[in-house]
Amino acid sequence: MDFDEYVAARRVRLVRTAVLLGCRPGDAEDVVQTALLRCYRSWRRVTKADNPDAYVHRVLVNTVTDARTRRWNGELPTAELPDDGRELDLSLGIAVRRALDEMTPEHRAVLVLRFFADLSERDTAEALGLPAGTVKSRTARALAALGASEHLKDVTP
Amino acid sequence: MNETRARDLLLAAADTIDVAPSGPLDTTGVRRPPRFAALVAAAAAVVIALGVTAYVVRDDRSAAPGPSEVATDRPESTVADQFAAFVKGPDSGTTSLFADEVVVVLDNGDRVTWSGEYASLRGNWISPCANSFDCAKSDLMDHDLLDFIGDGRPSPPLDCGAPGAAVGPGSAGGDGRTVYLQSTCDFEVVLGLTRDDRVASVRLSDLTQAAEVPEVRGLYRKEAIAAMREAGFDTTVRTVDTEQCYDDGLVLEQDPQAGTRLAGGSTVTIRVNQETETPAFCGGDPLAPPD
């Protein structure tokens, strides 16, 4: 698998994953860039992994964690996102992001990797450096926490 | 909440995230350089600084004197003294010197030049020896000198003997103050003296002190060759492809090892990495903590 092709196919999704993992949108692209460069330097190693995607996500999770511990992370959620002129109803998505913001980083990570990045339990476990059983139980609790979120009470699917 | 609902919610959340389109990822200069390269470069710089290229002639006799000058402008010191004056290193006369070219001007004005071989000189000793190791075994006193070339040309071909051995003495001749030189053997021999221990002029050009081979592992090919040249060595480059991830052109091995003392002009072999697999994506463990 060629690095350039991978980036072309996955970069946008990785940036969104980073945001859902808790990166500020402005930082997410930098974080993904950093993660991808780390992968680039070891691309042979990445492509030899059982699941290169899981490997890249693991690097991404670590990079997000690094960024979070290194910089001031005074994320300030706003009620209104900058208007980009789209007519799309973003209220559900924004509610979900608020809900995610209030979750623990552990719960948030399993939800994003399992249900947005579409990693299997095993690959999520690999990406987070956790036993698969832990991922399973943590996912169940995270789903429960998401379902109980105040932010999602008033929104319809 | 079930998994399908969670997927929908996360996709909806992702939809609120704008991602600017990206140009090609700039990956130039991100391959991990060897960490020891900087240290090695510093060490090499020191070695280079120590590499001595001396151009030796005493005072105003640096220009090769013409025949008329020679007769009247003869140094009072002996060859051995002259040599000793510049050979003496910090450890007082035990340093070996090697010259790419030796010019001896004879009493009669003839000049004899040898190049491509080394004169090996140690303190008051002038030794027919190939390197400092041989010199240690085979010092000859200057009055043991050898072949007679009173006419400025090597006369009859010398019996080279074994390296380090005395080359059979030639017959005395000429005006009795004859320079003895020899350099036709495979091993380096250059000797010069007059019969009465005086000589018109001695010039050693491109005199190179026996130098330490610098550490070039971790440098790149061109840097390594430059470092070797600075230290007075020629370089032979061979390529090697290892299983490990190294940059192309990175010097992985050298022979002889750094710190070996060799005569200037010796050849050092380096092995540089040359990946045969493409694309050569290489680097460290991306999961390792950042530098």
pTM of this structure: 0.38
Least confident of A52-66, B108-122, B227-241: B108-122
* B115-130 average pLDDT score: 36
pLDDT at A81: 58
- Smallest Cβ–Cβ distance between A36 and the set B5, B25, B285 belongs to B25
- Contact residues on chain A for B14, CB-CB shorter than 8 A: 16, 19-20, 93, 116
* Location of structure tokens 């790419």: B100
- Smallest Cβ–Cβ distance between A16 and the set B5, B8, B14 belongs to B14
pLDDT class for B92, splitting at 50, 70, 90? Answer: very low
pLDDT at B137: 33
More confident residue, B282 or B269: B269
The average confidence (pLDDT) of chain B is 52
pLDDT class for A139, splitting at 50, 70, 90? Answer: very high
* Location of structure tokens 């003997």: B161
Q: Tell me: pLDDT of B205 over 90.
A: no
Least confident of A33-42, A132-141, B110-119, B233-242: B110-119
Q: Tell me: pLDDT of B36 over 50.
A: no
Q: What is the dihedral of CA A108, A110, A115, A120, to 10 degrees?
A: 170
pLDDT class for A8, splitting at 50, 70, 90? Answer: confident
Residue B262: both structure tokens together:
């060799």
- Chain-chain contact of B10 with A111 (C-beta, under 8 angstroms): yes
- Chain-chain contact of B10 with A115 (C-beta, under 8 angstroms): yes
- Chain-chain contact of B10 with A112 (C-beta, under 8 angstroms): yes
Nearest to B179 by CA among B245, B105, B123: B105
pLDDT at B233: 84
Q: Is A5 on the interface with B (CB under 8 A)?
A: no
More confident residue, A154 or B277: A154
Does residue B256 have a cis bond before it (omega within 30 degrees)?
yes
* B40-58 average pLDDT score: 35
Residue of A13, A32, A43 for testing the chain B interface, max B β-carbons within 10 Å: A43
Q: Is A151 on the interface with B (CB under 8 A)?
A: no
- E-assigned strands of chain B? 53-56, 96-105, 111-122, 125-126, 201-209, 211-212, 234-240, 251-255, 261-262, 267-273
- Smallest Cβ–Cβ distance between A41 and the set B7, B18, B286 belongs to B286
Q: Tell me: pLDDT of A119 over 50.
A: yes
Pick the most confident of A73-82, B37-46, B162-171, B213-222.
B213-222
Q: Left (φ > 0), alpha (ψ -120 to 50) or beta: where does A129 sit?
A: left
ipTM of the complex: 0.77
Cα torsion B159, B162, B163, B169: sign: negative
Element (H or E) spanning B211, and its range? strand B211-212
pLDDT class for A70, splitting at 50, 70, 90? Answer: low
Q: Is A130 on the interface with B (CB under 8 A)?
A: no
pLDDT class for B224, splitting at 50, 70, 90? Answer: very high
Nearest to A112 by CA among A134, A99, A155: A99
- Smallest Cβ–Cβ distance between A111 and the set B6, B32, B281 belongs to B6
Pick the most confident of B51-60, B113-122, B147-156, B239-248.
B239-248
pLDDT at A144: 92
- Contact residues on chain A for B10, CB-CB shorter than 8 A: 20, 96, 111-112, 115-116
